[in-house]
Amino acid sequence: MRFCTLFLLAAALLTATAIDAGSIPSDYSLVWADEFDTDGFIDTTSWNYDTWGNKINNWQTKTPELQYYAPKRLKNVNCTNGILYITAIKEDLSDQPNWGGQSYSSGRITTNTKRDFTYGFFEIRAKLSRGRGTHPAIWMEPRGGEIDIMEQVGQTPNTIFSNLHTPYTLRTVGSKGNDVQTVVSNAVTEFHNNQVLWSEEGIQFAVDDRVCHRVDKPVSSSMDNWPFVVPHYFILNVAVGGAWAGPPDSNTFTEPVVMAVDYVRVYQKSVQPTTTRKKDCKPRASRVRRHL
Ligand SMILES: *[C@@H]1O[C@H](CO)[C@@H](O)[C@H](O)[C@H]1NC(C)=O
């Protein structure tokens, strides 16, 4: 029901605007994708293992998350038969660098400094993990502007959260952001397409081509209320614990805790709008790789 209401609301809003579909706009073409077709480790020309917070701050939450994000380790992050698997495991990796006392291992990978994008249609096909205390996420940053394409917590496995955070929302409503919930009844047993259409007019979220959430750029916009004018990179991770997911229970790790990602695809307009770019960035044309 919630989904229908939001969908109708979004549809009504959209009639007045240029963005009108959850699926790939016809004038966009593929500029980068990872289909995870090579078995073994992730492709480090595109991805990094993001491990900086393991010891320093347990991932910046007031209630610390419980996972140690492993560096290059197939058990936590691997590609098998065209699928990327990110797996959380109940184990103590005290022999690994920067271990911060955690009793769970997991994976967190980013495209920071390797693949970042301003505007486009982003599609990530994924099947989510299950189990109380688990928290898979597919998102984009830099901090300040955060596009949460998909977040889910184990206690409500079939509810997907999409969200936008800005310095303004962090100051005024905190972590609530522009949160919208969408029910996807088989999110942990089937793959679904998590989609974002990010343009100069706004950011719209969809699941399997159905629009569920849209935020327009404010009329009077600034880096404070609309930082979505600079390149953002992807982050994929499976967290354990933390304030939102809460602790795992005795059933959580009786089955594997895995987020499976079939692909990450990025489409852009052939003529990109002018954007603010960091000085040290190479021109876009030399940084994108065409896959199809
Ligand atoms: C890759 O991850 C999957 C899902 O957790 C797991 O079943 C498989 O054993 C892993 N592969 C390797 C080589 O560790």
pLDDT tens digits, one per residue of 194-233: 999 999 999 999 999 999 999 999 999 999 999 999 999 9
Question: Residue with the nearest Cα to atom 13 of ligand 1?
Answer: 74
Query: What is the structure's pLDDT at 11?
Result: 45
**What is the extent of the structural domain holding 48?**
2-15+28-287
Query: What is the structure's pLDDT at 58?
Result: 63
| Helix extents (H) in 33-142 | 53-56
**Hey, how many other C-beta atoms are within 10 angstroms of the C-beta on 141?**
18
Asked if residue 78 has its Cβ within 6 Å of ligand 1, the reply is yes
Query: What is the structure's pLDDT at 285?
Result: 34
Interatomic CA distance for residues 243 and 206, integer angstroms:
26
What is the CA(74)–ligand 1 centre distance, in A? 7
Query: What is the structure's pLDDT at 143?
Result: 74
146 catalytic residue (yes or no): yes
> Does any domain span residue 292?
no
Asked if residue 258 has its Cβ within 6 Å of ligand 1, the reply is yes
Written as six digits, the tokens of 18 are: 């240029």
Asked if residue 264 has its Cβ within 6 Å of ligand 1, the reply is no
Element (H, E) at 9: helix 2-14
Query: What is the structure's pLDDT at 272?
Result: 74
Element (H, E) at 240: strand 232-240
> Does any domain span residue 158?
yes
Closest CA to 50 of 67, 63, 37: 67
> Does any domain span residue 103?
yes
What is the CA(54)–ligand 1 centre distance, in A? 22
Interatomic CA distance for residues 123 and 264, integer angstroms:
6
> Does any domain span residue 56?
yes
Question: Residue with the nearest Cα to atom 14 of ligand 1?
Answer: 75
Of the chain, the end-to-end C-alpha distance in Å amounts to 38
Which of 77, 78, 238, 258 for a ligand 1 pocket mutation test, highest count of atoms within 8 Å of Cβ? 78
Q: Kindly give the number of the ligand 1 atom that is closest to the alpha carbon of 258.
A: 5
Asked if residue 256 has its Cβ within 6 Å of ligand 1, the reply is yes
Q: Kindly give the number of the ligand 1 atom that is closest to the alpha carbon of 260.
A: 4
**Hey, how many other C-beta atoms are within 10 angstroms of the C-beta on 89?**
20
Query: What is the structure's pLDDT at 12?
Result: 45
Coil, strand or helix: which one is 184?
Answer: coil
Query: What is the structure's pLDDT at 271?
Result: 75
CATH number of domain containing 72: 2.60.120.200
> Does any domain span residue 203?
yes
Query: What is the structure's pLDDT at 114?
Result: 98
> Does any domain span residue 239?
yes
Query: What is the structure's pLDDT at 126?
Result: 98
Residues in the chain, pLDDT under 50: 1-19, 278-292
* pTM for the structure as a whole: 0.87
> Does any domain span residue 232?
yes
Asked if residue 39 has its Cβ within 6 Å of ligand 1, the reply is no
Interatomic CA distance for residues 219 and 206, integer angstroms:
23
Coil, strand or helix: which one is 26?
Answer: coil
Query: What is the structure's pLDDT at 144?
Result: 79
201 catalytic residue (yes or no): no
Tally the domains of the chain: 1
pLDDT in tens, 43-75: 999 999 999 889 886 666 667 899 999 999 999
Interatomic CA distance for residues 128 and 150, integer angstroms:
10
